[in-house]
Amino acid sequence: MNKKIKNKKVKDKKAGEKVDDVRKKVYSKILDIAKSISRKKKEGALFIIANKNNFKDSYRTLYPIVTKKFSVFTKGVEPIIEKLATLDGAVLITNDGFLIAYGAMIKYSRPMPGFGTKHAAASGFTRKFKDSTAVLVDENIDWIKIFQNGKIILELDSEERPSSIKKKIIDFVADHDMTLLTTAGVSAALFGGRLCLNGF
């Protein structure tokens, strides 16, 4: 194999790992914010995490975006994102953690019988864009639901968990590997193709 091509593949792999690590940090940050909202048991919220290009022409906003672009990693920004998330519509975040919009009405909604508009938006968007993830805080119960490929893949309560377990949950969401959870000793039940985690 040509040495230049081989070196390029190694660099690409390293770059890919860094991108994946950032995405996992975004998932972790959004799950923390979702848990904080869920514990208050008053309001629901929807976060959609995706490639920036997937958001183009896929939503309209209910509110004017009056702030400059900022990252979920900006110090002290969590309460602001939490408040924006409880407005009607979704909070749209890129895989590298930048807030694109809030109060976003998703054009690719897909109704889920027995559930509301946030569930429909989460299902529709993640079905349309296979590499996207939606994190939904159910306003009626203390459950956080994670959507991929149009389906709920994971439901969990807002309990704090050891960092080792939290890492396994994030890895599962990012890598879709069920063994990551079972090897961590997670007590879980599989219902209709989704994993439900409660108080472990």
pTM, 2 dp: 0.80
Q: Rounded distance, CA 29 to CA 11, Å?
A: 27
Residue 13 has pLDDT above 90, yes or no: no
Average pLDDT (1-24) is 56
What does the pLDDT read at residue 114? 81
Q: Kindly report, residue by residue over 75-124, the tens digit of the pLDDT.
A: 999 999 999 999 899 999 999 999 999 999 999 888 888 888 999 999 99
Average pLDDT (153-162) is 82
Kindly indicate the confidence band of residue 156, based on its pLDDT and cuts at 50, 70 and 90. Answer: confident
Q: Kindly report, residue by residue over 92-106, the tens digit of the pLDDT.
A: 999 999 999 999 999
The separation between the first and the last C-alpha atoms of the chain, rounded to the nearest angstrom, is: 49
What does the pLDDT read at residue 17? 52
> Which tokens belong to 16?
């890919």
Kindly indicate the confidence band of residue 182, based on its pLDDT and cuts at 50, 70 and 90. Answer: low
- Decide if 100 contacts 108 (C-beta within 8 A): no
- Decide if 178 contacts 167 (C-beta within 8 A): no
Q: Rounded distance, CA 21 to CA 104, Å?
A: 27
Domains in the chain, CATH or no CATH each: 3-153 (3.40.1700.10)
Kindly indicate the confidence band of residue 169, based on its pLDDT and cuts at 50, 70 and 90. Answer: confident
CA angle 83, 171, 58 (to 5 degrees): 50
Exposure pattern of 33-66 as b/e (b: 16+ CB <10 Å)? bbbbbbeeeeebbbbbbbeeebbeebbeeeeeee
